[in-house]
Structure 1
Amino acid sequence: MGVLLRRYLIAGLLVWVPLVITIVVVRALVDFMDRSLLLLPPSWRPEALLGYPVPGLGLVLTVTIVVVTGLLAANIFGRRIVAIWEGLLSRIPLVRHIYGAVKQVAETIFASNGEAFRKVLLIEYPRKGIWTLAFQTGTASGEIQRRTEAEVITVFVPTTPNPTSGFIMMIPRNEVTELEMSVEDALKLVVSLGVVAPRELARGTAADMPREGR
């Protein structure tokens, strides 16, 4: 009886836990996006027009604002406005450093021909024989490349279970193993503490693992 009860309990948790967490995360995102409605005049908001709030309307407004902004910034007139705006920000001592760094990171990540977070790598860290996942973020250049004997690449090693934090490393290209798994699968592996293994990894065997000195 106890074994059956435990079995049913686990089966129920496997149904409800992912569902509840998904609902909580989606609701938090929708609530956050709905704050964009504060940009509208009070008389234009759903509460004033309809008499009740409309969940998710802020998400539509946010996407619309982003698309319209991109449309304006893609033409000559819009680029001139952006250049003037960035010129003003560059004159503010603290803001110019923050804005410049964030813009450079965003341009690197969202560039269609960029290398940032396009490849999942396997590296030996923190010592030989121990492997960890990393994401290639670029190719080292300038002084870093001149002072190294081999061609090095820049990788980001995420922490678990929070992959938004981590550290960067410069590693010789011939000392990393490029994996076929997607970035999404790698992030699942990191966030789940290794519990949720990608299908490619689950089908692999010990013989498929890279060997030292490869």
Structure 2
Amino acid sequence: MAGARRGRRPGAPDTRAAILAAARSQFASHGVAGATIRGIAGEAGVDAALVHHYFGSKDDLFMAAMELPVDPRQVLAPVIAAGPEGAAERFLRALLEAWDDPDLQPTLVGFVRGVLEPGGARLLAEGFLPVVIEPVGRALGLDRPEHRMPLVASQVIGIVMLRYVLRVEPLASMPRERLVATYAPTVQRYLTGPLP
């Protein structure tokens, strides 16, 4: 057919959705480190420059693909800005404020349930941890953040699972400040205390 357009399709209303679908597929299959913008673009049938145009960095694309109602990097920015001392209390308070928000909670719970499905573990271990959690430790200037931040994540994931997904008492109805006071010493030790 004369004049038929060849090559990858240009930006269109469905392009953003196609990129996000391809990104979810690639991140689930390869993790954030193994997925490439070029591979995501190829699966979406667009040019890699268009992926950058819509989403910027690969980390930003990962966060968009997760479809969270709030960007946890923005929620945690004040935690980082105030430095490592007392960071555990600020970290837990910021986390719990977001999760206790009735407008955010259903989507956040849905995200956690998705992590429990096949492929979801990779999104957590090779996506959410390196894109959101580990950078907090680096930004706080912690030594060995690659060891400290998974320990922090173990506490946070436990709180989220028991309080919001499984609704186990007394965590499910415990006042936020009591929960912070209970967990903060352990989380702070993971952040700044001596590691074995």
**What TM-score do you get using the length of structure 2 for normalisation?**
0.28
Pick the structure with greater CA Rg.
Answer: 1
Give the alignment's TM-score, normalised by structure 1. Answer: 0.26
- Report the structure, 1 or 2, having the larger strand content: 1
